[in-house]
Chain A
Amino acid sequence: MSEQFSNEPLLDMYIFETTQLIGQLEECILSNEKSSCYTQSAINEIFRIMHTIKGSSAMMMFENISSLAHSIEDLFYFMREENPQNIDCAALSDLILEGIDFVKVEIEKIKSGDAADGEASALIDSIKVFLSILKRSNASTALTEDKEQSSIKKQQYYISSEKVKTSAMKNAFKAVICFEEGCEMENIRAYSIIHNLKGLSDEVFYIPEDIIDNDESVDVIRREGFKVILKTDSSYERVHEFFMQTVFLKDLELTQLDNDDELKQLSRVRQAATDQISKSQSSHKQDKEDKGTENKGLDSKDTQTVSTQQSIISVSVTKLDKLMDLVGEMVIAEAMVIQNPDLKGLELDNFQKAARQLSKITSEMQDTVMSIRMVPLSATFHKMHRIVRDMCKKLGKEVQLEIMGEETEVDKNIIEHISDPLMHLVRNALDHGIEPPEDREAKGKPQAGIIILEAKNAGGDVLIIIKDDGKGLNKEKILKKAKENGLLHKSEGNMTDKEVFNLIFLPGFSTKDSVSEFSGRGVGMDVVTKNIETVGGSVSVDSVSEKGTIITLKIPLTLAIIDGMNIKVGNSRYTIPTISIRESFRPKESDIITDPDGNEMIMVRGKCYPILRLHEHFGVKTDITEFMKGILIMAEVEDKALCIFADELLGQQQVVVKALPSYIRDSKKISGLAGCTLLGDGSISLILDISRLASLKKVSI
């Protein structure tokens, strides 16, 4: 799916495709680095990618990116054609990765509307040097091959004029053709003329002669024009018409020749040259065949990389957002029709049947639109390979990254918020968690550490788990640092291990003594938490000393539409996400317990739940203040639970979540609201944030 970075669709497409290709390239490099070296298919893929990027960057006038791509393309062209044996794969990979990073940076500049002014000349020089070293160390075979190739080609060219005798055609013409400036490849344009002339003429001579191989012929043609002498039975008009069909023709000088003299002379020259070359023909042909079979042998060793081609189209995210909005409006409109007050009390069997059908279709449409916005986590997860590789190199550690459940899908909007936190957590695991190989060996662990990235579905959420087998979190250190920074709100003895570990998510927290390049500035973890909470998710951590650490990110599948239970408190309406509701019941006054601080609680099947009086919390006037007259709804999120006291249940409904308007969010901080929505009768309902409300009422046991 393409995002809009500018108002130019061409630029957007360039950014999108180049980003995609660079990603593919990086993956290719990383996977080939691990195995022996570059397979034939990898070389082909890299060549093609660089060729494409060279072309599109040149079109968009990003000369630095184009030149860099060109130099890498040349390098891989050599590798593809000559199949050199002595390649310093590690150095090659580093060079390409440097190139990849350069392009990434330039693309970011382009995205932000800045100039792509990076200097690639140093890197290009390094690549050229690498190529020339490669050429030299594989020198002897390459040079002789070139010579043979060109002489073979020369023969084909001479032999292509079948008749050696002079033609019997009546008319002889001489044409001088000048091409327009800047049309490029004039020698090939000249070749095109000669090729097409076959229908008209059976004897053709032209100057410059070596238009196929010799690039200098281009200069000759530009300076003096392309000269053709031909014999034909056609008239002057017909020959003129033929030459006028030449693309990018600037000037044509066509003269009919009176006699054959010039032609005869040229014919004799050609005959002599043909005789000389045909002698060496047979031996060269043999060599070429031998090389052909050699190359084939190498290819068969490659594992076939099959590309599964799905039918995919590119859609702008703005269009999808609009579609989502419309579907949301449709859900509300549908509710307004079906729950219309005008229909109250009427017996409407047929209508109800039709309404049910409408509901069914609306709901299916919703699911489909939602699924369109869903994107697998694979791309995000795969980005981590590069980070692990770079950090391992820099820190001298050995780590293997395992990815599970990458096909798990998440809303496109949410993916952007996951990438950075994930990167930080992986970096942390590598920096703080995994020990250096010597330490690991001393502890009896395998030298290579493991980091597992796993994604899976759990109800209405997606769980992303980052697990490492490093040294784990140090409880004492954490408590000490928390105390130092005044972050301890509870007494030490009262905290569970998990609560201690979760202190690391507080702002300003870091137990790393020195600030490394990658982490330890104390701004990482709380940024992670903030990013995740922005999308309505949560972070938690657990750890076992010397065994490792597990960090779990819980992220909602989508923010847009939820199943909700509508409730009434006085004249106000609220909605509770159905997924959080365990049960609802009318309590007996005797079940209610009040503690010395005035907090009300209720015992249900041996467990104690705090009670939240909605009318008190939101300051809403209602007649129903006695428990027996209203209803208690037990709601649970993760390990937090509470009972919400409201007037009555209004009914279940699919509800479109709209964010609270910024005006309200900025002017008055109301805790416990996740958003708002429009009900079927047109009234507004506030959606409760159960997690937040439960935290407020957390019972200290």
Chain B
Amino acid sequence: MKRVLVVDDAAFMRLAIKTILNKNGFEVVGEAENGAVAIKKYSELRPDIVTMDITMPEVSGMEALKSIRVLDPKAKIIMVSAMGQEGMVREAIMFGAKSFIIKPFKDDHVIQTINKILSI
């Protein structure tokens, strides 16, 4: 089973993503509510892939992305954004995010994106 770290400051969003992942045979090995916790958990858990919300308090998703990529250049991180955040998503890709999911998302969008990135 592929291991996933879910990062989002909204507990609801974490639960939504976790539910989709669990239903589709993924194991959510950890959750983080801000970038700082995300970096910590990444180094502890070394998941196969990370879903990362862009807007978060304390340390943002962008900062966490950069830090994790320094920590592990092979890290596969998928940004979770909302419509209208094109600029930030592009910046994230520049900093190494593999792809992105847009809220509100459908189950199959999430799974398709994750599966594609894991297969590369």
Of B11, B104, B116, the residue contacting A59 (CB under 8 A) is B104
Q: Judging by beta carbons under 8 Å apart, are A51 and B55 in contact?
A: yes
Q: Which residues of A contact B10 (CB under 8 A)?
A: 17, 52, 55-56
How many B residues, CB 8 Å from partner? Answer: 31
> What's the minimum C-beta distance from B18 to chain A, rounded to whole angstroms?
10
Q: In this assembly, does B29 line the interface, its C-beta being within 8 Å of a C-beta of chain A? A: no
Bound complex: CA A189 to CA B7 (Å): 22
Q: Which residues of A contact B117 (CB under 8 A)?
A: 247
Bound complex: CA A55 to CA B104 (Å): 6
Q: In this assembly, does A54 line the interface, its C-beta being within 8 Å of a C-beta of chain B? A: yes
- Could you count the A-B residue pairs with CB atoms below 8 Å apart for me: how many are there? 78
Q: Judging by beta carbons under 8 Å apart, are B104 and A58 in contact?
A: yes
Of B13, B86, B93, B119, the residue contacting A55 (CB under 8 A) is B13
Q: Which residue of B lies closest to A248 (CB)?
A: B112
Assuming A51-B55, A188-B100, A191-B90, is B112 touching A17 (CB within 8 A)?
Answer: no
Bound complex: CA A114 to CA B108 (Å): 28
Q: In this assembly, does B45 line the interface, its C-beta being within 8 Å of a C-beta of chain A? A: no
Of A9, A55, A185, A195, the residue contacting B15 (CB under 8 A) is A9
Q: In this assembly, does B24 line the interface, its C-beta being within 8 Å of a C-beta of chain A? A: no
Q: Which residues of A contact B89 (CB under 8 A)?
A: 185, 188
Q: Judging by beta carbons under 8 Å apart, are B86 and A187 in contact?
A: yes
> What's the minimum C-beta distance from A153 to chain B, rounded to whole angstroms?
8
Bound complex: CA A215 to CA B86 (Å): 9
Bound complex: CA A16 to CA B86 (Å): 30
Q: Judging by beta carbons under 8 Å apart, are B102 and A185 in contact?
A: yes
Q: Which residues of A contact B105 (CB under 8 A)?
A: 59
Q: Judging by beta carbons under 8 Å apart, are A56 and B12 in contact?
A: yes
| Of B9, B109, B113, most A-chain CB atoms within 10 Å | B109
Q: In this assembly, does B25 line the interface, its C-beta being within 8 Å of a C-beta of chain A? A: no
Q: Which residues of B contact A346 (CB under 8 A)?
A: none
Q: Mark B63-95, 1 if CB is under 8 A from A, else 0.
A: 000000000000000000011001101100110
Q: Which residues of A contact B93 (CB under 8 A)?
A: 188, 191-192, 195
Bound complex: CA A59 to CA B13 (Å): 9
Bound complex: CA A51 to CA B103 (Å): 11
Interface size class of A (residues with CB under 8 A): 20 to 34
Assuming A59-B103, A59-B104, A195-B93, is B11 touching A54 (CB within 8 A)?
Answer: no
> What's the minimum C-beta distance from A145 to chain B, rounded to whole angstroms?
15
Bound complex: CA A245 to CA B115 (Å): 11
Q: Which residues of A contact B1 (CB under 8 A)?
A: none
Q: In this assembly, does A637 line the interface, its C-beta being within 8 Å of a C-beta of chain B? A: no
User: Which residues in window 1-45 of B have CB below 8 A to A?
Assistant: 9-13, 15-16, 19
Bound complex: CA A1 to CA B57 (Å): 22
Bound complex: CA A188 to CA B98 (Å): 12
Q: In this assembly, does A427 line the interface, its C-beta being within 8 Å of a C-beta of chain B? A: no
Q: Which residues of A contact B15 (CB under 8 A)?
A: 9-10, 13
> What's the minimum C-beta distance from B65 to chain A, rounded to whole angstroms?
14
Q: Which residues of B contact A59 (CB under 8 A)?
A: 12-13, 16, 103-105
User: Which residues in window 250-302 of A have CB below 8 A to B?
Assistant: none
Assuming A51-B55, A187-B86, is B113 touching A13 (CB within 8 A)?
Answer: no
Q: Which residue of B lies closest to A54 (CB)?
A: B82
> What's the minimum C-beta distance from B76 to chain A, rounded to whole angstroms?
12
Q: Judging by beta carbons under 8 Å apart, are A10 and B19 in contact?
A: yes
> What's the minimum C-beta distance from B79 to chain A, rounded to whole angstroms?
10
Of A17, A185, A188, A195, the residue contacting B12 (CB under 8 A) is A17
> What's the minimum C-beta distance from B20 to chain A, rounded to whole angstroms?
10
Bound complex: CA A257 to CA B87 (Å): 33
Of B12, B86, B87, the residue contacting A10 (CB under 8 A) is B12
Q: Which residues of B contact A191 (CB under 8 A)?
A: 90, 93
Q: Mark A313-351, 1 if CB is under 8 A from B, else 0.
A: 010000000000000000000000000000000000000
Q: Mark A51-71, 1 if CB is under 8 A from B, else 0.
A: 110111011000000000000
Q: In this assembly, does A158 line the interface, its C-beta being within 8 Å of a C-beta of chain B? A: no
Q: In this assembly, does A521 line the interface, its C-beta being within 8 Å of a C-beta of chain B? A: no
Q: In this assembly, does A206 line the interface, its C-beta being within 8 Å of a C-beta of chain B? A: no
Assuming A185-B100, A188-B90, A247-B112, is B11 touching A314 (CB within 8 A)?
Answer: yes
Q: Which residues of A contact B109 (CB under 8 A)?
A: 183, 248
Q: In this assembly, does A390 line the interface, its C-beta being within 8 Å of a C-beta of chain B? A: no
Bound complex: CA A59 to CA B89 (Å): 20
Bound complex: CA A264 to CA B116 (Å): 35
Bound complex: CA A192 to CA B104 (Å): 21
Q: In this assembly, does A212 line the interface, its C-beta being within 8 Å of a C-beta of chain B? A: yes
Q: Which residue of B lies closest to A47 (CB)?
A: B55
> What's the minimum C-beta distance from A248 to chain B, rounded to whole angstroms?
7
Q: Judging by beta carbons under 8 Å apart, are B16 and A48 in contact?
A: no
> What's the minimum C-beta distance from A25 to chain B, rounded to whole angstroms?
14
Q: In this assembly, does A184 line the interface, its C-beta being within 8 Å of a C-beta of chain B? A: yes
Residue pairs across A and B with Cβ atoms less than 8 A apart, 16 shown, are A9-B15, A9-B19, A17-B12, A52-B10, A52-B12, A56-B16, A59-B13, A183-B109, A185-B102, A188-B93, A212-B86, A212-B87, A212-B90, A245-B120, A248-B109, A248-B113
Additional A-B contact list (16), CB under 8 Å, known A51-B55, A55-B13, A185-B89? A10-B15, A17-B12, A48-B55, A52-B10, A52-B12, A54-B82, A55-B10, A55-B104, A58-B104, A59-B13, A184-B83, A188-B93, A191-B90, A247-B112, A247-B116, A248-B113
In the A-B complex, list the 3 residue pairs whose CB atoms are closest, starting with the nearest: A58-B104, A56-B12, A59-B104
